[in-house]
Chains A and B, each alone.
Chain A
Amino acid sequence: MKRRTKPSSAALSATLIRRPIQRCFAIFLLPTFAAFCIGFIYPFAKGIYLSFCKFTTTSNAKWIGIGNYLKAFQDASFMHAFQYTALVAIVSLIVINVLAFAVAYALTRGIKGSNTFRTVFFMPNLIGGIVLGYIWSMIFDGILSRYGTSIVLSTTYGYWGLIILMAWQQIGYMMIIYIAGLQSVPGDLIEAAKIDGANGWHTLWHITIPTIMPSITICTFLTLTNSFKLFDQNLVLNGGQPFVFMADGTVIRSTEMLALNIYNTFYLNANSRGTGQAKAVLFFVLVAAIALIQFSATRRKEIQQ
């Protein structure tokens, strides 16, 4: 049994096969590209166009210029929603990532049944946002009703309720990413650190965390954008309640996040749809900007192994 292949001939045939394929790259790209155009490019371009229009349905839009943007900026509820969303995003970013890392760290210590634990922790992520919102609103109200209150009666409860819900949903997902990262930390590095006399904390801070920086980048990116885009859970858990009634009749929905604010604006009436659309475009710019800043900031901390 001789198993000898000539490397040169293999390389040759590889190029022979590859070249025609390379020439037809367009055919291979086409399905994905078409899907990308239909599902993203076209709606996105149309969305931007509509933000400058007055419309009832998207097919009968009338160009009106930047009026929608002016209205969006003058809307106090939009600014409030922005602040509230930022507050939720920052706290949930910290809570989710710290806890997810802690769980991942614990479950890579080789304790018994860690695979079961991983599955269980991951499971909440499989439940849809609306269902999750209903489940948690029942849990919270089940407890709070004993004290004669409800999640929709307090901005504070609403805020922490949202954080708890998001943490419960997302910790499992982030945990999986962190576990993958932790498992790729080279054993010899840890061993070398141990021989050098580093204790557990030192190893964690100086070896493990710098090595899994790519995981941290992706997890912070995901939690940050997820918090900004949060809609279903917010809609179901408290729908913006409690409201604050200003003397002039305007209403601030104290637990309304950006996406819900856009939705409420859009369906207010036929004249407000453009404003809702303008807010949506601003929302996109904002989320994209924050994500890019965060991405480049954490990327810089990543090390080459």
Chain B
Amino acid sequence: MKKLFALILVAMLAFACVACQTAAPAPAAEKPAATQAPATEAPAVDTPAVTGKVYYLNFKPEADAAWQALAAQYTEKTGVPVTVVTAASGTYSETLTAEMDKGAAAPTLFQCGNKAGLDTWGDFCYDFTGTDVYKQMTTNDFNLFKDSGEVAAIGYCYECFGIIVNTALLEKAGHSLSEITDFASLKAVVEDIHKNAATLGFDAFTSSGLDGSSSWRFSGHLANMPLFYEFRDDGVTAQPASITGKYMENFKNIWDLYINNSATAPSQLATATGDQAEAEFGEGKAVFYQNGSWEFSNLTTKFAMSPDSLAMIPIYVGVDGESNAGLCAGTENMWAVNSKAAPEDIQATLDFLNWVVTSDEGTTMMAEQFGPIPFKNAKETTNVFFNDANKYLAEGKYVVTWAFNFTPNVDTWRAGVVAALTQYSAGGSWDDVVTAFVAGWATQYAAQ
């Protein structure tokens, strides 16, 4: 008996050792994409002998596989080692902070997507002016500039968000897209569907979960609506020190519409997740789902939804003249090249970027993963949401730009708004949301 026990213990110990050994490298999640390819064997493309290397710290986990494959292709072609590491969801800033400290092994290419990013990482941003990849760009609209005019980061794709509609269900409920032209008409349709949810078998909105996996849809994207209209009225083009909260009542309108016309009770939203909302929409349990163009591949592959029954409409919040609104388009996806990297690595990184936006492989991958990209060689996309965005543009409607890119200390400000929305939805006071939103802005601006 004792021997058996000892044997089990030894086995457990051995297992623990092995488990620890295999587990240890996992958190680093580093996947050097074919770095072993010797530089000498590279089929000499017109680029000179390879000296630099590329290390891309990617922030979109959903695009990781595509980047790994593309990096491997590039290495095979040119011999330049390209390492792509993806930070775990929601930990980009922490990972970047740690990785940037690695001196010669620091990322040569990273994300610097908004004003807050520029404040933190501005010193590390290489000036893109005059580089080949910058010359390929078709617009400056999505780029970040330093006060000195240097091009600090380039927006490599843009995204649009709004309310995704399952048009098949909408018709089943006896309504059509053309009915919805402003907040009042949206409200009428939504409330009608919610009222008949039991007989229809589906509800109006998916759950507006406030768990971290979902809350950014509201503290970031939905909050853009009051910010955009306020900034438009006041002609704001740079980060303001404070905001007035002029359109907070509209923010309340749309939020109330979301939470009161869904199968999930408002008090349950504190822990409702993003996956939950996505599944509700994907499985046909709800007609409306606020999210963005990046959802297209998930909805059509994971949930096998037909692109024909998908459409994206603007978020209407009850502002005058909003029947002329288009989708919210902008980007937080920006490349910045680490200016503190070795000159040959900077050059290798710029060459890699240029290849990504000009080569057939690169532009195909970009079109699949990110939709239309603002570069001359961009490929067509099959994503219907972008087609919707373009349709609104063609009709002469205004683009709702991403005003939230000005948010000071964005993570902390949003955390406050989320907490306030959580409390409000469970029966708390709207005043807290206004305080978190308006006073929180000024506080975070001062704390920058």
A residues in contact (CB < 8 Å) with B: 56-60, 137, 141, 145, 148-150, 152-153, 239, 241-243, 245-251, 253, 264, 267-272
Contact = CB atoms under 8 A, between A and B. Distances in A.
B370 to A, nearest CB: 27
Interface string B392-422: 0000000000000000010110011001101
A245 B116 contact: no
Nearest to B441: A249
Given A141-B271, A267-B93, A248 B439 contact: yes
A58 B98 CA distance: 9
Given A58-B101, A269-B120, A153 B440 contact: no
Given A243-B416, A245-B440, 12 more contacts: A56-B120, A57-B101, A59-B101, A60-B123, A148-B268, A243-B436, A247-B435, A249-B435, A250-B443, A253-B419, A269-B447, A271-B448
Contacts of B176: none
Interface of B is mostly: helix
A278 to B, nearest CB: 15
12 contacts: A149-B426, A150-B270, A239-B415, A242-B422, A243-B416, A245-B439, A246-B439, A247-B435, A248-B439, A267-B93, A269-B119, A269-B409
A249 B442 contact: yes
Nearest to A152: B270
B443 A241 contact: no
Interface string B428-448: 000010011011111110011
B138 interface: no
B265 interface: yes
Interface string B284-325: 000000000000000000000000000000000000000000
B62 to A, nearest CB: 22
Contacts of B427: 148
Interface of B: 93-94, 97, 100-101, 103, 116, 119-121, 123-124, 212, 265, 267-268, 270-271, 409, 411-412, 415-416, 419-420, 422-423, 426-427, 432, 435-436, 438-444, 447-448
A141 B116 CA distance: 34
B271 A148 contact: no
Contacts of A60: 123
A18 to B, nearest CB: 31
Given A57-B101, A152-B422, A264 B435 contact: no
A150 B443 CA distance: 28
Contacts of B423: 153, 242-243
Q: Give the one of A58, A137, A141, A241 with max B CB within 10 A.
A: A241
Q: Give the one of A59, A137, A253 with max B CB within 10 A.
A: A59
A140 to B, nearest CB: 10
A251 B268 contact: no
Q: Give the one of B120, B270, B412 with max A CB within 10 A.
A: B270
A150 B94 CA distance: 28
Contacts of B93: 267
A245 B428 CA distance: 12
Contacts of A250: 443
A253 B416 CA distance: 9
B120 A270 contact: yes
B443 A249 contact: yes
Given A56-B121, A245-B420, A269-B119, A137 B271 contact: yes
A247 B443 CA distance: 10
Nearest to B91: A267
Contacts of A58: 101
Given A242-B419, A245-B436, A271-B448, A148 B411 contact: no
